[in-house]
Structure 1
Amino acid sequence: MQWSPEMRTGVRAAIASVAALAVLGPLGWFWFDSLVPGTYDMAAMGVADHGGGDPSGHRHTGGLSVADLRGPSGRPDVEVTLTADRRDGRYTLNGSSPGPEIRAERGDLIQVTLINGSVPDGVTLHWHGVDVPNGEDGVAGLTQDAAGTGERHVYRFVAADAGTYWYHSHQVSHEQVRNGLFGALVITPGPMTGDPVIAVHTYDGRRTINGVPGVSARPVTRARVINTDAGPIRVWATVPYRVVAVDGRDLVSPPVVTGRAVLVTAGGRVDLELTAPGRVEAGGGAALGPGAGTAEPRELVDLLGYGSPAPLGFDPGTAARVFDYRIGRRLGFLDGAPGMWWTVNGRLFPDVPMFMVRTGDVVRMTIANDSGEVHPMHLHGHHAVVLSRNGVAATGSPWWVDSLDVADGDSYEIAFVADNPGIWADHCHNLDHVPEGLVAHLAYAGVSTPYRVGGRAGNVPE
């Protein structure tokens, strides 16, 4: 058979069409499969991971509602009103950034009324490191609706654990926190003390302490350092010092440190006690205290072996749930957009794990990072103890964390007791990474949420 030029052209076009369909068809499916609804139930997203435990009864309808998991009634011991505003891209609370420092004594009932003065995207407050009832956690679309302009929201919780904490927006948080919507929260074990807070934050490329660049000359003997930035920082003192607390939990028998700095992960806190009045350096030319500064030490305090062992109060060896949280990165689609996205256990958002537990479960989790970047991992509503790093067991004081710096190539094993029912975010606190997919959740059996991402309230937790 003699093929005419027209026939040859037609065959080539048909082959090209088939080849294009073979390539574009799967790409089209992956694109379609990546789309996230405009409104959705965060608790229904992802893939249920039971961690080897009993999967029965795990549903998010009926049972206990997040809206019912609230703080107690009664007359508050500490009552604060915070008005959030946005001016020229900068966010303030009561006209300042950071917002007002809140101080309370252990056992106090705290009530904070948040008023949205002029934040067009809405606003919430998350009590970072404070294990509040789930309905007070301040995550838009999961534990509440964002407060729109002119609206207010009241938070109530008991200051159960003394320590250094902070608060920040969890609505469009990657923008609002970076641009100033945060403040410090200090809970003391007894009568108020004047231990200074060192809230480290970078505004427009300039590192500040409590919003002030450069050096403030106030003498320091104990300092509460809060890293409100997206990445880790190093802090040190010009005199010998002890690391007496991490993430609001005291360390046991902390030895004196000389010639070393402490790494503070994004969202994390450390309390430093100086052996004599001195100066605390936070890098980038930011410091608090008199006198001349010192060069940044090369070595770090290794909290894995710092201080003395002590009972944990539970046995990690009896874990009912064992989870993996493996962080990676790969090419794909996220909500229809092509790019290099973060993965959890090899999956792209929204097909990431929903870690399922029951109240009272002992939980072990391995957090491993092979993504090429450091990730400060933050679990809401719980404190976990570090058991090991890269297979090396912890030997020092129990190292309790709510924010853990997981460097590229590192693997940590942590453990905690599931003792705070709810649906809890478990995400990277480099907040730019969250809308890029680095978020999962810890969910208790039988707990549901009436709130939705998107929707009338425009909830955007990331």
Structure 2
Amino acid sequence: MPSRRELFRCAVVGIAVTTALGAGALAWSSTLLGEYSVMTMGGGHDVDTAAGGHSGHSAGVPGAGEASGTGGATGAVSVTSLIADPDRPADVRVELVAREGTVEVPGGRSIEGYTVNGTSPGPEIRAEQGDLVEVEFVNESVADGATLHWHGIDVPNAADGVAGITQDAVPVGGRHVYRFVAEDAGTYWYHSHQVSHVQVERGLLGAIVIEPAATSGPSGDAASRDVTALLHVYGGQHTLNGRVADERVEAEPGETVRVRVINTDQGTASVWSAEPFRVVATDGHDVNRPSDVEGQRLLIPAGGRADVSVRAPAAGHVVRLHVGGARSMVIGDASAPEASAPPVRQPKETLDLLAYGAPTPLSFDASAPDRSYDYVIARRFGIIDGRPGNFWTINGRMFPDVPMFDVTEGDVVVMHLRNDSGDVHPMHLHGHHVVVLSRDGVAASGSPWVVDSLDVHPGESYDIAFVADNPGIWSDHCHTLPHAVDGLIAHVMYEGVTTPFTINGDAGNRPE
């Protein structure tokens, strides 16, 4: 028979366990989000100034640096009104039909996923700079609903395609029209922003290329041939333009070929070659005076793009450009055997875009910003929407109590990104491009490095800047999409802008 002391000890342990379970159950139920609006995120608290030396502050702007959960709740401008000119006729019209079912992967095995107009990737859209693009999106059979987000294109907020923020997810049988002016020539892509960690991975995506206006001249290094290299992994199969195979590009000796590399996958992609190449654009923005890259690899973050120029070799030969590691673009004489350019090992040295190309003045002064924010990424144990786990934090706070970065139209905004989480994060800001000012305190010394998707490695810090010139409510999140599901998402909110849409409501909006 147990002693009185043992019985007492068991009773104490039992009470402790019961108390812990009760508290856990309470915490669990208290974090079941239910229906909510991004307007309430952040809870109205200040940005966590203890997270780093760049605490939220501004150059004399009242309220700057505050992480507001209201962010313009008293304003009268809805995201639905932030649209392209409704009276202007479209220059480019496209219908895209999303279906749920089998994705045929040429050269590989088929998977269950999503197609756009019957294929994945979906059809490439081409437009000219200045065109008004109109896309009618039809959801034929995607059970969870779907949207289209124009990754890297600074569209009006109503066209951003984020379920629960700028629209409701399009249900089965529904339609939605997106309209935007293709302001910036460059390489971009489109994808669903509804249950995106599933729908993007399984193929609801495609490329969009905006060519320079005829009056503006060539963009970057002049190229006589222009090809797309869209990278995606379907069920573990690395593909190039939807195929498990290398791609041949016929080119005359001495001809310059522009290869538009689009990384639609969840991890960083590498580009390299045994022959010199040039990086002529990043995320749709030209590099000033690019030089030959030799013996180095170019890294492209998840969601990022890079335009690379390659010169075709002499007759009877080809150049092999490794894209993504598993596949290659083989460029040159169509009659030359691929064996004339065998695969080569990936270089260990990485091209530093912070010092690549030649400097040129920025279009704005980032030395005296109107608003300055920290964005410090870490992780800790907690519960999100009833799920316990080791989740990401932003400025020490866990989703949905994460900062809301308030701005006013015209502000120059500087953000200090710091990654204390132990994992790499490709950070993507919607509706804007940022210029990289410094990394780990070292100032940029090359061409302005302009991006919308930026890999921040463990222990790294970046200072980035942008002009708040596109009113709306904009996601600012990690494009390793499962990370966004686990809370690595914040928003830039313009003063006076509101949204009528909610997440987890009757419309079933689940943007990540």
TM-score over 0.5 for the alignment?
A: yes
Of residues 98, 101, 124 in structure 2, which corresponds to 1:84? 98
- CA shift for structure 1 position 7: 8.6
C-alpha contact (below 8 Å) 1:219/1:288 kept by paired residues: no
C-alpha contact (below 8 Å) 2:275/2:294 kept by paired residues: yes
C-alpha contact (below 8 Å) 2:269/2:325 kept by paired residues: no
Aligned to 1:69: 82
Letter in 2 for 1:160: E
- In structure 1, distance between residues paired with 2:301 and 2:90: 32
Aligned to 2:229: 198
Letter in 1 for 2:63: P
- The answer to whether 1:281 aligns with 2:322 is yes
SS at match of 2:307: strand
- CA shift for structure 1 position 363: 0.7
Aligned to 2:116: 93
Letter in 1 for 2:101: R
C-alpha contact (below 8 Å) 1:43/1:423 kept by paired residues: no
Aligned to 1:271: 307
Aligned to 1:42: 38
- CA shift for structure 1 position 11: 5.9
C-alpha contact (below 8 Å) 2:91/2:132 kept by paired residues: yes
- CA shift for structure 1 position 47: 4.0
C-alpha contact (below 8 Å) 1:235/1:280 kept by paired residues: yes
C-alpha contact (below 8 Å) 1:34/1:350 kept by paired residues: no
SS at match of 1:260: coil
- CA shift for structure 1 position 34: 2.4
Structure 2 gaps, min length 5: 48-55, 65-69, 103-111, 219-223, 252-256, 314-318, 332-337
SS at match of 1:350: coil
Q: Deviations over 1:288-331 (max 9, x none)?
A: 12432322122111001001111111111111211111111111
- In structure 1, distance between residues paired with 2:274 and 2:454: 26
- The answer to whether 1:152 aligns with 2:165 is no
- In structure 2, distance between residues paired with 1:302 and 1:393: 12
Of residues 149, 154, 164 in structure 2, which corresponds to 1:131? 154
Q: Deviations over 1:437-458 (max 9, x none)?
A: 1111110111100111122221
- The answer to whether 1:424 aligns with 2:490 is no
C-alpha contact (below 8 Å) 2:271/2:325 kept by paired residues: no
- CA shift for structure 1 position 29: 4.6
- CA shift for structure 1 position 332: 1.3
Q: Deviations over 1:41-61 (max 9, x none)?
A: 122212445732422994324
C-alpha contact (below 8 Å) 1:241/1:275 kept by paired residues: yes
C-alpha contact (below 8 Å) 2:71/2:404 kept by paired residues: no
- The answer to whether 1:52 aligns with 2:88 is no
Aligned to 1:208: 239
- CA shift for structure 1 position 25: 5.4
Letter in 1 for 2:287: L
Aligned to 2:334: none
- In structure 2, distance between residues paired with 1:14 and 1:237: 69
C-alpha contact (below 8 Å) 2:99/2:118 kept by paired residues: yes
- In structure 1, distance between residues paired with 2:98 and 2:155: 22
Q: How many percent identity over aligned positions?
A: 54
SS at match of 2:198: helix
Q: Deviations over 1:1-45 (max 9, x none)?
A: xxxx999798667644653465445544533442212x1112221
- CA shift for structure 1 position 276: 3.1
Of residues 108, 124, 140 in structure 2, which corresponds to 1:117? 140
C-alpha contact (below 8 Å) 1:219/1:279 kept by paired residues: no
Q: Deviations over 1:185-218 (max 9, x none)?
A: 1011135975101001111212111101121211
- In structure 1, distance between residues paired with 2:31 and 2:415: 27
Letter in 1 for 2:36: Y
Letter in 2 for 1:71: A
SS at match of 1:19: helix
Q: Deviations over 1:388-414 (max 9, x none)?
A: 111111110000110000111111110
> What TM-score do the two structures reach when normalised by structure 1?
0.94
Q: Deviations over 1:213-244 (max 9, x none)?
A: 12121136210000000010101234211101
Q: Deviations over 1:407-436 (max 9, x none)?
A: 111111101111111000000000111111
Aligned to 2:109: none
> What TM-score do the two structures reach when normalised by structure 2?
0.85
SS at match of 1:208: strand
Q: Bigger shift: 40-49 or 261-270?
A: 40-49
- In structure 2, distance between residues paired with 1:124 and 1:352: 25
Aligned to 1:373: 423
- In structure 1, distance between residues paired with 2:362 and 2:170: 39
Q: Deviations over 1:363-396 (max 9, x none)?
A: 1101111112111000000100001111111110
Aligned residues: 458
SS at match of 2:355: coil
Aligned to 1:398: 448
Aligned to 1:299: 349
RMSD between superposed Cα atoms in Å: 2.2
Structure-2 change in CA distance of 1:10 and 1:297 (3 Å): closer
- In structure 2, distance between residues paired with 1:8 and 1:395: 72
Structure-2 change in CA distance of 1:40 and 1:194 (3 Å): farther
